[in-house]
């Protein structure tokens, strides 16, 4: 009798232990600190509430940029990385060279109910290296042209569809900026001119608009790309020289110049959309909108990157099948529920979400989402991507050139020498 | 005899934790740094032995020379001027009494407790080319607003001024403690002999405060040779090849360019540089003190 009670007690306590183990904890690292970080937190809370007793996300937010990538790469190398992390598609090539990411297999994709067709072609391509998939895109985040609708309307630059008109082509755009300035705007356009690494996003878009490209190791600027890159840099330098674009302006000042009405246009990332929406809702902002970059050269093209979910390849401590399944469930759920993520400005990568009527109603997101068909991602190299040697070289070469300290040709030559020297 | 042995054992027991931790956390990584510097290792993982080619590569890199020059320039701009300013402030503060002295001292010490990121945000906003209030001073003199952190000749002096503002509190405290240790009767005797204030300073204060000055200069020298944070923060996205300092060079090679071996070689050069400079300076200043 005594033995049976003991046995029963042992069995029941063993069952309790296994019940406790049934709740998988998914360690999550991200670099989302701003307005999108707040939105991601509420997504995570919602996920945890819906998966109570099954899966819990334990999230940690780390510093964006070089600190984040240094930490995830080194911790994966010693087996101390998380189960899942946010990752810029543009930084995947470096991680692949270090073997710090786990491949996403066809079975994994099937388990999540996703396929390559679930994503825009350029976005899907960005998470693949040499035919293997290393992350699941969560969003596409391009740069866009923000505009002050009140000021544009007063200058007759808003068309019948309620969107800006007559901005395509360098001459038209310059004329529009001149009109706006004649009508009282202090500047024509605000964009970051104190940070050539940031401005690289615009310059790279302008390069792509001329069908120019940045290659990769060994051949960074193929064909006539140096000349086209020079044209791109020259365009911004001309704007600065003409007083259209304020010189040596840093990021916070750029946003301030737009939101205070000093500059009716701003080129910036879609991640500033929540700033504008919030200010507008508080009654502190004019009528505004955001559109795909105008076609300055030959064709529409805009720089984009993608926040994706990646699973680190933790050396010596691979995920158990249960952990792996729980991680996939997190990615699947996030992909399905990324409509809310669109309020952070980012374009959900999952096409099924952007096709919903709810997304189509969302403004200005639905207006600029069309640009995913024309987006260009960073070249696939260990030296490219956010916080990379390429951005660093752009900072050195373009900051001086945009502000007229050196000419565009020397800036391109300097950049080429720097990249070829790596 | 037995007593002596137990004393030795006790000494070993007390010293051992330090030796172990120091060896593990400092000596061993330093040895590893030397080993890494002769390989072509990336940031993560091992590399192959390549002899001294990292060092020859360093010497051939104009950016590395810029980094050394900028570091020396920064040391010149901060170490002696910073110490002089600290001494001046300490002399003035020491003439105050009671709560007024504490309050003024607190005001000068306050910046020292700020983290570098806060220092950066404050000064970056003060000097902002569109909205910064300091442009009210710069614009009348220069004729137009200047982005201090994107104008090469302004960059290092700008960072130096902020660094002095930021780190001076500590030197002021050291000097103040030194000044309080000088017996009052020396000054009384001097004034009875009809010494002027300047004579009192050069004949009493300066010689007696000299050891503190040496300490301040040495601390400052080592600290400023390792300059990184401020230069990195203010230079972000700009012409970092021209404003580069040595620690930043190491950081960029290791964490941005993924060249661990090369970064280790640069770290070895900095290590030797700091060691030689510190010993030289200390010896030089000590000789001056014993004269």
114-173 of A, contacting B, C-beta below 8 A: none
Q: Report the percent of chain A where pLDDT is more than 90.
A: 76
Q: Select from B131, B147, B236 the Cβ nearest to the Cβ of A256.
A: B131
Task: Give pLDDT, residue B67.
Answer: 94
In a domain, B166, yes or no: yes
In a domain, B4, yes or no: no
Tell me the three state secondary structure of residue B131: coil
Maximum Cα interatomic distance, chain B, rounded to a whole number of Å? 82
CA dist B167 and B145 (Å) reads 28
Local confidence band at A1 (pLDDT 50, 70, 90 cut-offs): very low
Q: What's the average model confidence in pLDDT over A197-217?
A: 92
Sheet holding A136-137, edge to edge: A55-61, A24-30, A84-88, A307-310, A136-137
Average pLDDT, chain B: 91
Count: domains in chain B: 1
Q: What's the average model confidence in pLDDT over A178-183?
A: 95
In a domain, B219, yes or no: yes
Query: Domain-by-domain residue ranges, chain A?
Result: 24-138+306-367, 142-303+388-420
User: In the predicted model, is pLDDT for residue A13 greater than 80?
Assistant: no
Task: Give pLDDT, residue A16.
Answer: 46
Local confidence band at A6 (pLDDT 50, 70, 90 cut-offs): low
CA dist A112 and A307 (Å) reads 18
Q: What's the average model confidence in pLDDT over B58-67?
A: 92
Closest C-alpha to B240, from A106, A339, A197: A197
226-265 of B, contacting A, C-beta below 8 A: 236-242, 252, 255-258
Residues sharing a CB contact under 8 Å with residue A289, sequence separation 6 or more, in sequence order: A146, A147, A149, A163, A164, A363, A364, A367
CA dist B261 and B46 (Å) reads 9
A307-310 and A84-88 strand pairing: antiparallel
Q: Select from A248, A392, A399 the Cβ nearest to the Cβ of B256.
A: A392
CATH number, domain at B208?
Answer: 1.10.3720.10
Fold identical between A24-138+306-367 and A142-303+388-420?
Answer: yes
pTM of the model: 0.85
Q: What's the average model confidence in pLDDT over B149-161?
A: 94
User: In the predicted model, is pLDDT for residue B257 greater than 90?
Assistant: no
Q: What's the average model confidence in pLDDT over B216-242?
A: 90
Do residues A257 and A190 lie in contact, with contact meaning Cβ atoms separated by under 8 Å?
Answer: yes
Q: What is the pLDDT of residues A368-400, one digit of tens each?
A: 999 988 999 999 888 888 878 898 899 999 999
Q: What's the average model confidence in pLDDT over B153-163?
A: 95
Do residues A263 and A229 lie in contact, with contact meaning Cβ atoms separated by under 8 Å?
Answer: no
A293 touches B at CB < 8 Å: no
Do residues A231 and A206 lie in contact, with contact meaning Cβ atoms separated by under 8 Å?
Answer: yes
Tokens representing residue A369 in the block: 């989402």
Contact B147 A247 (CB under 8 A): yes
In a domain, B31, yes or no: no
In a domain, B50, yes or no: no
Do residues A184 and A310 lie in contact, with contact meaning Cβ atoms separated by under 8 Å?
Answer: no
Q: In sequence order, what DSSP letters do the residues of A213-250 get, joined into one string?
A: ---BTTBSS-TTHHHHHHHHHHHHHHHHHTTSS-TT--
Local confidence band at A19 (pLDDT 50, 70, 90 cut-offs): very low
Do residues B167 and B112 lie in contact, with contact meaning Cβ atoms separated by under 8 Å?
Answer: yes
Task: Give pLDDT, residue B291.
Answer: 44
Backbone angles phi, psi at B188, to 5 degrees: -60, -45
A90 touches B at CB < 8 Å: no
**Angle value at C-alpha A74, between A69 and A79, nearest 5 degrees:** 125
Q: Select from A253, A256, A399 the Cβ nearest to the Cβ of B237.
A: A399
Min mean pLDDT across B41-50, B69-78, B127-136, B161-170 is at: B41-50
Average pLDDT, chain A: 90
User: In the predicted model, is pLDDT for residue B287 greater than 80?
Assistant: no
Q: What's the average model confidence in pLDDT over B17-23?
A: 94
Q: What is the pLDDT of residues B81-110, one digit of tens each?
A: 999 999 999 999 998 888 999 999 999 999
Tell me how far CA of residue B169 lies from CA of A342, B101, B172, B223, in angstroms.
Answer: 48, 14, 5, 14
Which chain B residues are closer than 8 Å to A98 by Cβ?
42-45
Backbone angles phi, psi at A79, to 5 degrees: 75, 20
Task: Give pLDDT, residue B98.
Answer: 86
Residues sharing a CB contact under 8 Å with residue B236, sequence separation 6 or more, in sequence order: A195, A395
Å between B239 CA and nearest CA of chain A = 4
Q: Select from A66, A194, A247 the Cβ nearest to the Cβ of B238.
A: A194
Calculate Rg over the CA atoms of chain B.
24
In a domain, B271, yes or no: yes
Contact B239 A73 (CB under 8 A): no
Q: What is the pLDDT of residues A29-88, one digit of tens each?
A: 999 987 788 899 999 999 999 999 899 999 999 988 888 988 998 899 889 999 999 999
Architecture of domain A24-138+306-367: 3-Layer(aba) Sandwich (3.40)
Query: Which residue segment(s) compose the domain that B65 sits in?
Result: 61-290
Measured between CA atoms, the residue of chain B closest to residue A262 is: B130
Å between A307 CA and nearest CA of chain B = 20
Task: Give pLDDT, residue A331.
Answer: 94
Q: What's the average model confidence in pLDDT over A2-26?
A: 58
Instruction: Look up the CATH number of domain A142-303+388-420.
Output: 3.40.190.10
User: In the predicted model, is pLDDT for residue A22 greater than 70?
Assistant: no
Size of interface A-B (CB pairs under 8 A): 81
Contact A195 B240 (CB under 8 A): no
> Is the dihedral angle over the CA atoms B115, B119, B125, B128 positive or is it negative?
negative
A94 touches B at CB < 8 Å: yes
Q: Select from A192, A197, A382 the Cβ nearest to the Cβ of B258.
A: A382
Task: Give pLDDT, residue B284.
Answer: 79
User: In the predicted model, is pLDDT for residue A17 greater than 60?
Assistant: no
């Amino acid at each position: 009798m005594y033995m049976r009670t003991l046995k029963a007690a042992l069995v029941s306590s063993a069952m309790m232990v296994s019940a406790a183990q049934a709740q998988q904890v998914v360690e999550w690292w991200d670099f989302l600190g701003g307005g999108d970080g707040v939105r991601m937190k509420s997504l995570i809370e919602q996920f945890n509430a819906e998966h109570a007793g099954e899966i819990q996300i334990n999230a940690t937010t780390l510093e964006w940029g070089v600190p984040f990538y240094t930490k995830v790469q080194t911790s994966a190398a010693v087996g101390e990385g998380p189960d899942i992390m946010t990752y810029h598609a543009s930084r995947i090539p470096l991680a692949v060279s270090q073997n710090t990411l786990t491949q996403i297999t066809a079975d994994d994709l099937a388990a999540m109910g996703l396929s390559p067709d679930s994503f825009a072609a350029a976005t899907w391509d960005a998470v693949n290296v040499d035919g293997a998939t290393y992350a699941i895109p969560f969003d596409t985040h391009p740069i866009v042209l923000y505009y002050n609708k009140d000021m544009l309307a007063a200058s007759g630059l808003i068309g019948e569809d309620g969107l800006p008109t007559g901005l395509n082509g360098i001459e038209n755009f310059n004329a529009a900026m001149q009109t706006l300035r004649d009508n009282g705007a202090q500047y024509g356009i605000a964009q970051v001119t104190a940070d050539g690494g940031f401005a690289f996003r615009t310059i790279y878009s302008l390069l792509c608009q001329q069908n120019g490209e940045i290659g990769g190791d060994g051949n960074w600027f193929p064909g006539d790309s140096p000349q086209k890159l020079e044209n791109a840099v020259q365009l911004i330098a001309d704007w600065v020289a003409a007083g259209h674009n304020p010189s040596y302006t840093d990021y916070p000042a750029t946003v301030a110049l737009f939101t205070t009405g000093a500059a009716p246009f701003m080129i910036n990332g879609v991640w500033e959309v929540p700033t504008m929406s919030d200010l507008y809702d508080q009654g502190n902002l004019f009528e505004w909108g955001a559109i795909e970059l105008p076609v300055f050269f030959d064709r529409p093209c805009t720089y984009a990157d993608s926040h994706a979910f990646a699973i680190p390849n933790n050396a010596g401590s691979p995920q158990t099948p249960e952990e792996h399944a729980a991680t996939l469930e997190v990615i699947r759920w996030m992909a399905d529920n990324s409509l809310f993520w669109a309020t952070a400005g980012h374009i959900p990568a999952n096409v099924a979400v952007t096709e919903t009527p709810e997304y189509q109603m969302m403004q200005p997101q639905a207006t600029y989402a069309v640009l995913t068909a024309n987006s260009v991602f960073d070249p696939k190299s260990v030296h490219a991507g956010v916080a990379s040697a390429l951005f660093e070289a752009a900072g050195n070469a373009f900051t001086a050139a945009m502000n007229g300290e050196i000419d565009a040709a020397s800036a391109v030559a300097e950049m080429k020498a720097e990249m070829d020297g790596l | 005899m037995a007593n002596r042995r137990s004393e030795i054992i006790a000494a070993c027991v007390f010293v051992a934790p330090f030796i172990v931790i120091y060896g593990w956390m400092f000596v061993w990584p330093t040895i590893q740094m030397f080993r890494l510097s002769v390989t072509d290792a990336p940031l993560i993982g091992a590399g192959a032995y390549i002899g001294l080619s990292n060092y020859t590569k360093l010497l051939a890199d104009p950016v590395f020379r810029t980094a050394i020059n900028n570091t020396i320039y920064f040391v010149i701009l901060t170490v002696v001027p910073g110490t002089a300013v600290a001494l001046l402030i300490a002399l003035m503060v020491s003439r105050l009494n009671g709560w007024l002295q504490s309050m003024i001292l607190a005001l000068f010490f306050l910046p020292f407790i700020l983290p570098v990121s806060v220092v950066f945000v404050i000064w970056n906003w003060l000097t902002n080319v569109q909205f910064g209030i300091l442009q009210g001073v710069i614009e009348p003199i220069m004729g137009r607003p200047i982005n201090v952190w994107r104008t090469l000749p302004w960059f290092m002096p700008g960072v130096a001024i902020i660094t002095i503002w930021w780190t001076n509190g500590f030197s002021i405290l050291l000097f103040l403690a030194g000044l309080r240790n000088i017996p009052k009767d020396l000054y009384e005797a001097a004034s009875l002999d009809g010494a002027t204030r300047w004579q009192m300073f050069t004949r009493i204060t300066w010689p007696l405060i000299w050891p503190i000055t040496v300490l301040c200069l040495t601390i400052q020298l080592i600290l400023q040779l390792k300059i990184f944070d401020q230069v990195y923060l203010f230079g972000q996205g700009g012409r970092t090849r021209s404003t580069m300092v040595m620690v930043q060079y190491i950081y960029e090679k290791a964490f941005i360019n993924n060249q661990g071996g090369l970064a280790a070689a640069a770290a070895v050069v900095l290590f030797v540089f700091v060691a030689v400079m510190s010993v030289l300076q200390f010896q030089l200043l000590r000789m001056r003190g014993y004269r």
